[in-house]
Chains A and B, each alone.
Chain A
Amino acid sequence: MGVISECMDNAELSVITFAAASHPNDQCGANGLPLTPNSIRILGLFQKVKSQKHPRLCRYIDIERGKHERLMVVSEFHQRNLKKDARTFKGESEKLLIVAYEVLEGLSHLNDQGIVHRSLTPECIQFDKQGHVKLAGYGLYHMTDQGTSVAFPIGSPAYLSPEVLAHGPSLIKEHGFTESVPKPYSSPKCDVWSLGIILLETFFGIRLWYQKSLSELLKKTLEFTKSDVEPFKHIIDEHNLGLKLQSMPQNLQDFIQNCLTGSVSKRSSPKQLLQHQVFCRHQNVIKTPYIDLLYPFSAKLRCEELEMPKEGDFEDEHEEPIRRRPLEEVYYLWQRAGGDLESILRKAELLKAKPPVTILPHFVIEDGETFGQSRDSSDLLDETVILLNLDQLRQRLKDIPEEAYYPLLEDENSIQGNMQAGPEQNSEETSETSRLPLVIKEKDVEYQFHRIILFSRLLKGYPFKRPHLLKEARVDIPPLVRGHVWAALLEVEGDVQEQYDRIDKETPTATDRQIEVDIPRCHQYNELLSSPAGHAKLKRILKAWVISNPQYVYWQGLDSLCAPFLYLNFNDEALAYACLAKFIPKYLHNFFLKDNSAVIQEYLAVFSNLIAFHDPELFNHLDEIGFIPDLYSIPWFLTMYAHVFPLHKIVHLWDTLLLGNSSFPLCIGVAILKQLKDRLLTFGFNECILLFSDMPEIAIDTCVQESIKIFCMTPKSSLYRQHAKQPAKPEPVMSRPNISYYSTDYHDQPQNELSLDPIPLEELKSERCPRISAEDLIELGELKGPAQTKSPTKRSREGKPKLLMIDVRSEEDYLRGAVGGSINIPHSTAFSADGSLVPCSALNKLNSCRNLVKVIIGNKGRTASNFAGDLVRLGYSKVCVLYKGIDVLRPTGLLVVPSTDLR
């Protein structure tokens, strides 16, 4: 049949607020660390509730933490509910049975997910525009960890089942030393009781024990546990409903009686009740399949159940186009249109706290226990639901034409063709915004609107639409869809959930201890990652990775590496794992070997060369004080900067990092150093060590732009590493379209005699300058004419480094044959006694082209690299050495006899 409709339709967004219970003073958990604040526990548990999607359930959208343990929960809301519409259901047994069936469907789905509603009331049974049930309020019991994280009891007293009441409320003590009270765990069957009461009340149009006081009402229900009277009969008798009962059909009577069974073991569960004979007629009528067709990372046939919208589907009502977007999108845009939960709740007087000065404690003893503090009445639970007003959002989006909700996606060929012309198919305004700083773009409603719609459509077409997705990701990635876009960039494919399920994440291993130590130190300022739910997930993913990669060991830092993926895919552990599993081989190939020194050392040596290449001044200074990359940059590379930056910066950094190849992270390192250059130049060794022991604030946007520049100005072969991942087999071109010269890895290209070969580490470390392969030289120097270029980007003109070739052989050799366009500065006569360059015409040429990449061409041996090193010493930037010297070019037939004026 159908699928879960992702549209908002006539649903509303609503917010409720409550305060988490604060912990007694200074208690520690089992691991000896201070207890996580309850609000964070709730925030972590909420995530599971948020991921519930079912046609009979209201969606939970978001949770926000305020000051002083306050929480604000946003969820779907429908105006109509069973309490409001009670009259239309009075005496209508058929209608009520349909409601009951749909409620049970919702409950049974929740039970499958391990969630119990516990606070079922007529208000919770809401109806959508077709009149189908939408259960609300089911998340509170789960997210508060069976009600233990809040001070207030969960559920409405009239509808609580006897066994729930028999457990007693969870009591929070005012002062420390709590004895361990068992969690009042409620079984799914308590909701069945509530349903029974609701049906009974609605059918007769009464409220049970309406006149009684709260405690008497509670006693009434509690007494059912003691007597053997059937609750149903008892209720009927007490309310004098004996006569009216005749109007209730026998099947409904049976059903309600079944719900109101006093003994829990005899009462049916929601799942069993769905099979109740009352529903035998309905079972075929109401069928609710639920497949999430929008999830791009599964192996299921996503189009199998797809139904094309019929003609007139959208015509019949004057629905706003925004209501055809999913709720979470609407909420996301609402926030960007200036929506703020706290101010809304404040306006509704739901956050009316007393001035803090009036509720200070009187006395605090030496271990922090406080006395004489009066309770702030605003901490009490107020169950009022506040609707979010969408007017402001509507206002902001009113000028957007309806076509914009369905942007046309061009097919593959036109994408390729379009590359030259640029991606300007969006409105001019959008493209203008796209050039603004990222932080501004992420807050712009209209821009985000266009981007989200575009990306969610592209994601639906993944992996087919991957090239297009890549192209758009180069502009920016909207935060709402970042998790999935990253997975797409990392080429995650296949049934990730199934693969993940098959990994043993439970059996204890030797690394468990280290993992347990690292997790409570990993990005704990983040609410999700510091929640117990987050800890458990991180642990499982790490264990899954360790056990799936027996050739590697767990290195500290793997936790940081995993954190961004978990943060973005908190409810999709499998996807977070899949991303990690793709990320590590791409960027950190062999970094996690038990003995990774060769890999790391080579990486650092290349990094050092790169610093010399781009900033000789800084390089010379750091070299002089002995502040080598080994001392500071290992955690950068081992965690791809995830250990040194906060998450909100990591995501922006990785947005770009994921688009680049495995050498790109080196350029980020140089960009960071360049940003700190002024300070580093004035610092000595000790100050440098201190500076990096705690990473200083870095302007990440600038850093990203700078690293892109650095990357573009570096010949690819200069970043060659023998330990980088070698291509397993040539990939079919179609699946990974070559979008630009820079998105592919140097290491992925076929090797030939003009390429670089592995260079011994010692040699690499002893030299200051990177190498360039003859291949790159030919290409970048356009020695075979511009047609040869592999770089079809529109930026090819300014984005590619230009070369100045310096032949350092003797003049004699040079005149016999050299690379066309090269200048000659013989090394033997180049330097005067004091180490400076001897003036000559070639030197003038060199000095006038300081910004070009200088390729030093020599014979075999070290003269060329020594010469290059001296240039660095003199502050010349962008110096590299032709690998294997002039000889490598001889077979190419590119050597010419230079005209003498170019010397």
Chain B
Amino acid sequence: MGEVLQKNFVFAFSNQGTKSTLKVPIPIPLDTTAESLAGRLIAAHNIPCYVEADLLKKLKEFLAEETEKWQDEFAEAAVKKLRSGSVSVEELARQWTKAYTKEIKQYSPPEETSDEVIFSEVYHALIHSDALETLFNLEHQYSIAVEEIIGSRNWELETTEKKHGKEMEQALQDVRLHTDEHVNILAQKHFEKSQELEVKWNKELKELQNQQKREYREWVMKVYEDSSKRLEGTPAYVQKVRALSRSSSDRSSLTQTDVGPMPPEPRLEESFTVHLGAQLKTMHNLRLLCADVLDLCRHRISNLGGLIVPQPQRLQTAMSLYSNNLCGLILLVDNRLNFYTGIKRDFARICENSTDFHFPDLESQFQHVEESVIEANKWRAERKLNEDGDRISVKSSSSGSSETQGEEKLKRMQNGDFYITKHSNLSEVHVVFHLVSDDSVKNGDISSRHPLILAIRNVLKVCSRNDVTTLTIPLLLAHEMSEEMTIPWCMKRAELVFKCVKGFMMEMATWGDSGSKTIQFLVPKELSEDMFHAFSNMLPQIFRVNNPLVIKSS
């Protein structure tokens, strides 16, 4: 908006023969009504009541005139810019065209519906039909094939490793025959061999998964077409699936004994319902959960007398994949984008255990993430430059480092950043927030301004914007117990996280999402039962659970 001007309003009237003149500066454009301004002038300047109507009339005329002048000047200013050539007609036309084509459907090129979108719609329809069971059976058949390969791979890798170990042992014992050089060469050989094996197997695995994915998708589309074509009789897909399961049944019968029903680990958990908000309260569900974080991902299959029964959680996860109720999980990782070590490797293993029929595999998702990381780091640098520019920094372009170093720098993630991957083949999770954390989190007295705590807020924000309605947060900001995590340390940390999350949840209501949320606080499996109960006592105190609405029927 243009500048607000002060214009003098002059009003003359006669009072008992004496002429009086009122002269006041009035802001143009006026942000209140003429009536209200007149009322104020009358009160402030003791204007006699018999000129009130006249004053209002004059004031209105004055305002109309001055406002029009102001508006004209404002409009002319833009025109002048164009005339003087500081903006070109072409540039403006381009901007407007962009605005119209990018933001209004009528002008934007029609968006072709991608295969992904079609597939998601078809799948969502099927999984909510009676094709659900067959879909699951099919997925299971596929996963068995994958497990088979993985089993063989692991076996071969293991045996080779053993063999190598033996050879190496021999070589070391027989020092006279084998010089250091020989040993080195042997080690090199062994390494190459295992690498080769791994590459071979992984290639095979990937091929299988790609093939499965293709088949699966084709099949889903076909079934959908069939079922929408003929609504009566036994749907074609049922027969199809039966045939499919039969053909692979001999294969699966072999492996079933190997896999066996894994006994579900007993979980320690407690649920709460809380009402948050000062006057208007929203209801949320909280759960305190003692489990291994990867148990929420790991896919367990129960085999009841030859019948494959997926876990109920898994069913839920599949049915809500394309819904507005997603489940998310915060996984704490280091700042390197790979899956070679630690929990990252374990997680990657679980992901490859079965084919993800909906989303790209972890590796390709990481590639996308990397692109975004580079974009983000560029933006960060630009912003820093802007801020420094404001402060007229003397540190001008000190970053004369080499290209490659810059590239590495651009890929670096910081404490509190997180990348997001999505999955369709995990047990209770659709979305994983990989939250980058360093050792500073082990410190006993981190504050509510710690990057990790702020990152939880950002995660909640992404959740609220993208309909992730269930989120699992590692309560202690650690997945495993370690030495420094003493009882006071744990109590302090739990209190901090509870309190901060409560604050964020209350803030969430202002982010324009009023729906109820489920937050699961996850504590490491090794946590003592006493500690767990201490947390479960603390939670209701912090979240004030004791305010239920009690209605008595009289």
Q: Which residues of A contact B (CB under 8 A)?
A: 34, 37, 39-40, 65, 67-69, 146, 151-153, 157, 162-163, 165-169, 171, 175-177, 182-183, 185-190, 214-216, 218-219, 222-223, 225-226, 263-265, 269, 271, 354-372, 377, 380-383, 497-498, 500-507, 523-526, 643-648, 675, 678-679, 690-691, 694-699, 702
Contact = CB atoms under 8 A, between A and B. Distances in A.
B430 interface: yes
B281 interface: yes
Contacts of B74: 185, 187
Contacts of A498: 35
A646 B1 CA distance: 37
B486 interface: no
A363 B369 contact: yes
Contacts of B225: none
B111 interface: yes
Interface string B469-497: 00000000000000000000000000000
A498 B42 CA distance: 13
B95 A171 contact: yes
A501 B380 contact: no
A356 B467 contact: yes
A68 B512 contact: yes
Contact of A363 (B71, B321, B324, B373): B373
A690 B78 CA distance: 60
B71 to A, nearest CB: 4
A219 B96 CA distance: 10
Contacts of B120: 355, 358
Given A368-B461, A377-B111, A678 B380 contact: no
A652 to B, nearest CB: 14
A497 B34 CA distance: 13
B419 A365 contact: no
Contacts of A358: 116-117, 120, 322
A215 B97 contact: yes
A153 B95 CA distance: 11
B275 interface: yes
A186 B103 CA distance: 20
Q: Could you tell me the dominant secondary structure of chain B's interface residues?
A: helix
Given A363-B420, A365-B417, A383-B106, A166 B92 contact: yes
Contacts of B459: 364
B422 A360 contact: yes
B203 interface: no
Given A366-B451, A646-B280, A504 B40 contact: yes
Contacts of B281: 646, 697
Interface stretch (B7-15, B248-256, B342-350, B540-548): B540-548
B71 A214 contact: no
B95 A168 contact: yes
Nearest to A176: B383
Given A69-B512, A219-B90, A500-B36, 13 more contacts: A185-B74, A187-B68, A219-B93, A222-B89, A357-B430, A358-B116, A360-B466, A363-B419, A370-B462, A371-B376, A372-B368, A523-B279, A696-B548
Interface stretch (B80-88, B284-292, B295-303): B80-88
B177 interface: no
Max count, chain A CB within 10 A of own CB: residue among B39, B102, B279, B548:
B279
A16 to B, nearest CB: 12
Contact of B35 (A151, A501, A506, A679): A501
15 contacts: A34-B510, A67-B513, A153-B100, A163-B78, A166-B78, A169-B96, A187-B71, A216-B93, A218-B92, A264-B71, A264-B76, A362-B365, A368-B454, A370-B462, A382-B106
A696 B549 contact: yes
B435 to A, nearest CB: 10
Contacts of A265: 72-73, 76
B75 interface: yes
A225 B84 CA distance: 11
B247 interface: no
Nearest to A563: B279
Interface in B98-142: 98-108, 111, 116-117, 120, 124
B306 interface: no
B422 A357 contact: yes
B75 A501 contact: no
Contacts of B278: 525, 694
B550 interface: yes
Contacts of A177: 383, 386
Nearest to B68: A269
Interface string B504-520: 00000111110100000
Given A69-B512, A363-B417, A366-B451, A187 B431 contact: no
B547 A372 contact: no
A265 B77 CA distance: 11
A366 B279 contact: no
B105 A371 contact: no
A69 B511 CA distance: 9
B376 A365 contact: yes
A525 B279 contact: yes
A361 B372 contact: yes
Nearest to B322: A355
Nearest to A524: B510
A185 B1 contact: yes
Nearest to B365: A362
Contacts of A222: 82, 89, 92-93
Contacts of A679: 546, 550
B546 A691 contact: yes
Given A153-B103, A504-B40, A699-B551, A355 B373 contact: no
B2 interface: yes
B462 A364 contact: yes
Contact of A505 (B36, B98, B454): B36
B421 to A, nearest CB: 9
A359 B117 CA distance: 11
A392 B101 CA distance: 38
A163 B39 contact: no
A372 B458 contact: no
Contacts of A502: 39, 42-43
A37 B512 contact: yes
A359 B465 CA distance: 10
A260 to B, nearest CB: 15
A357 B321 contact: yes
Contacts of A168: 87, 92, 95-96
B80 to A, nearest CB: 9
A153 B322 contact: no
Nearest to B278: A694
B402 to A, nearest CB: 25
B75 A264 contact: yes
Interface string B452-468: 00110111011001111
A697 B548 contact: yes
A695 B547 CA distance: 8
Interface in B33-90: 33, 35-36, 38-40, 42-44, 64, 68, 71-76, 78-79, 81-83, 87, 89-90
B406 interface: no
A371 B372 contact: yes
Contact of B78 (A167, A377, A645): A167
Nearest to B107: A214
B104 A153 contact: yes
A643 B278 CA distance: 9
A355 B279 contact: no
A214 B89 contact: no
Contacts of A691: 546-547
B121 to A, nearest CB: 8
A504 B549 contact: no
A697 B547 contact: yes
Contacts of B388: none
B95 A163 contact: no
Given A185-B2, A364-B417, A368-B458, A215 B549 contact: no
B44 A504 contact: yes
Contacts of B103: 151-153, 380-381
A679 B83 CA distance: 76
